[in-house]
Amino acid sequence: MTKLQSLEKSEGTSGRRRPGTLTRVLRTAPPLHSALAFLASSISVGFFTVLLVLYTPCYNLTVDGAPVGRVSSRDAAELVTTQVEGQVSQLLGRTYTLDLDLAYDFTIAPKESLMTHTHLADSLMATIPEVKQAYVLSVDGVELGAAEQKPLLDQVLLNLQEQYNTENTHETFFTSETRITRKYIDAEDTFLKEDAFRAALVQDTRVQSAYEVQEGDSLASLAESFGMTQQEFLAINPNLDTRGGLLTGQMVNVEKTAPLLSVGTVDRISYTREIPSPVQEVRDPSMYEGDRRVITQGQTGQEQIYSDVTSVNGQVQYEEIRSRMVLSKPTETVMAVGTMERPTYYSTGSLQWPTTGDITSPFGYRYIFGRSSFHSAIDIANSYGTPIYAADSGVVTKAEYSGTFGNLIVIDHGNGMETYYAHSATMDVSVGDGVKKGQLIATMGSTGRATGKHCHFEVHINGEAVNPEQYLP
C-alpha cells in the first residue's frame, strides 16, 4: 500500500475530512461586501480630497442684477469696492460713492474661476460714467498724456526710433526710461493724437550730462560751449575746486539742449584705413635739435576695421572696435633726427611786431608820389629814434644803405622766410650777425625815399613779398 493510499485510508477512518490549507485561507478572508464597502469609502475620501483642492466655497456676484463673476468672500468684494471709491475720488477731486446693488449667491466653484481684485476693480470701474480707461505715456516718470489705445503709443515710439535707423543699425534704444501704463482718467480729459505725442517727445529741453575735460578747456570756455553762464556751471558742480583750473580728464556736469526723449543707435560698420609707416629714428649730429630729415620713405599699410558706432540723435558718441584685419603691412620709414645744439639766433617760427606805432600805409596797391604803385610792406610810423627789433631770430644778410630803402637790414630766418627793415636812422647789426628775436637792430628814421619817420617792414616767403599782418600776432 502506498503512502497516499495510507493517508486516504487514515483520513477515511476518522469519519470526517480534516480541514485543509485552502479551507483555512478562505475562512480568514473578509466577506465580499466588506471589500466593496472599503473600496467605496476610499473613493469617497479621494473625491472629497480632490474637491477640496480644486474647488472652494465662494459667491456669485451680481451688480444691479447683472452677473459679474465669482468672489472669494463678501469682505474681499467690499474691500475692492472701497478701493475703487478712493481711486475715483482722487481722480475727480471730490468724494465719490458707488451707488450699486451688490448681491451675493453662495456656491462652490473651481478656484481658478474666482475673479482677481484687479478684474473685479475693472468691472466696477466700467460701471462709472465719470471715468474712462486710458493708456498713459511717461518719460523718466513724467506723464506726457493719455491715449485711447496702446498701439497708438507703441507706433509713436517706433516711428521716433526708425528715423535714426540705417541699414547698418544693430540696436536702437531710448536714453530715458519710457513707460506705457494702463490707467483710469477723468472722463472729461481729452485723448491726445499721434502728432501731439510726437511734438512733446521731440521738443527741446535742457538736460544735464557728464563731460570729460579736454586739454585747453576752461570754466569760461565750457560754459560758453554749452550755452551756460559761469554761475550756472558752478551751480551744477558745487564740489568743483577751480582754484587750480580744470584738469584734463576731469569729469564735470554740463547742461545742453536736447529732445525730451533721445534715441540711441548702435551701427555695426566696417571700413578700411591706413596703417602709419613705423618710423626708425637715426641720430644725426650734423643737424640741429628739432630738425628731421627723411632718409628712406616707407609706405603706409591698410587694415579692415569692424566696429560698433554708438550715436545719440544721429550724433556719434564713441566707437568700439570689435576686430581688425591687416590687408597690407606698412614698411619702415628711416628718419634722421638732429642732435646738434641749436644756436640762439635760430628762428622760433613765429614773428613779433618789429616796433611800436601806427600803420600809415598797409600792404597792397596805393597812390603815392603822383602815381599808383604796389606797396610790398606795411609802414609803421612813430617818432625819430624809436627802437626797431628783430621780428624773429636769424642771420643778418644785409645791413647797408640801399637806394630808395635808405638804411636797410635784411634778416634770414630760415625755411624760406626773410624780413626787411628800411628807412632806419641807425643800424646796430652787421652782415653775418646772428640775432635773437626781440633784439635791438636799428632805430626809426626817414632815410631813402620816405615821406616821414617810419619803419618800412616787409616779409618774404621763398622770395615773394607777402602781407606781414598775416604773420604778426
| CATH, residue 409 | 2.70.70.10
> Quick one: 332 and 248 in the same domain?
no
In DSSP terms, 208 is beta-bridged to: 255
> Quick one: 197 and 210 in the same domain?
no
Residue 441 lies in a domain: yes
**Is the model more confident about 412 or about 15?**
412
**Is the model more confident about 50 or about 97?**
97
The answer on pLDDT for 445 being more than 90 is: yes
Q: Give the angle subtended at the CA of 350 by the CAs of 416 and 286, to the nearest 5°.
A: 55
Residue 345 lies in a domain: no
Residue 254 lies in a domain: yes
| CATH, residue 274 | 2.20.230.10
Per the structure, the count of domains in the chain is 5
> Quick one: 160 and 71 in the same domain?
no
What's the CA gap between 266 and 381, in Å, rounded? 62
Grid cell digits, residue 377: 610792406
Please compute Rg for the chain using Cα positions. Answer: 50
* pLDDT, the chain, mean: 87
Q: Find the mean pLDDT for residues 370-376.
A: 79
| CATH, residue 217 | 3.10.350.10
The answer on pLDDT for 85 being more than 80 is: yes
Residue 83: give the domain boundaries: 57-128
> Quick one: 442 and 383 in the same domain?
yes
The answer on pLDDT for 386 being more than 50 is: yes
Report the Cα 215 to chain-centroid distance in Å: 21
Strands 279-288 and 333-340 turn out to be: parallel
Q: Kindly report which listed range (246-260, 367-381, 450-464) carries the lowest average pLDDT score.
A: 367-381
> Quick one: 369 and 329 in the same domain?
no
231-241 pLDDT tens trace:
899 999 998 88
Last residue within a domain, chosen from 128, 151, 173: 128
pLDDT, position 153: 96
> Quick one: 424 and 383 in the same domain?
yes
Last residue within a domain, chosen from 306, 340, 374: 340
The answer on pLDDT for 223 being more than 70 is: yes
Q: Find the mean pLDDT for residues 2-10.
A: 33
pLDDT, position 443: 97
**pLDDT grade for 207, boundaries at 50, 70 and 90:** confident
The answer on pLDDT for 257 being more than 90 is: no
Residue 87 lies in a domain: yes
Q: Find the mean pLDDT for residues 122-126.
A: 92
151-160 pLDDT tens trace:
999 999 999 9
> Quick one: 161 and 191 in the same domain?
yes
**Is the model more confident about 24 or about 36?**
36
> Quick one: 369 and 439 in the same domain?
yes
| Count of alpha carbons within 13 angstroms of residue 465, beta-carbon side | 12
Nearest to 66 by CA among 99, 31, 101: 101
pLDDT over 70 percentage in the chain: 88
Residue 2 lies in a domain: no
Q: Kindly report which listed range (138-147, 208-217, 316-325, 426-435) carries the lowest average pLDDT score.
A: 208-217
Last residue within a domain, chosen from 77, 105, 128: 128
Residue 31 lies in a domain: no
> Quick one: 400 and 460 in the same domain?
yes
> Quick one: 395 and 368 in the same domain?
yes
What's the CA gap between 151 and 159, in Å, rounded? 12
pLDDT, position 245: 81
Residue 49 lies in a domain: no
In DSSP terms, 445 is beta-bridged to: 454
Residue 148 lies in a domain: yes
Q: Find the mean pLDDT for residues 266-280.
A: 96
> Quick one: 110 and 146 in the same domain?
no
The C-alpha torsion from 90 through 95 and 96 to 97, rounded to 10°, is: 130
The answer on pLDDT for 178 being more than 70 is: yes
Q: Find the mean pLDDT for residues 284-301.
A: 92
**Is the model more confident about 343 or about 30?**
343
> Quick one: 394 and 457 in the same domain?
yes
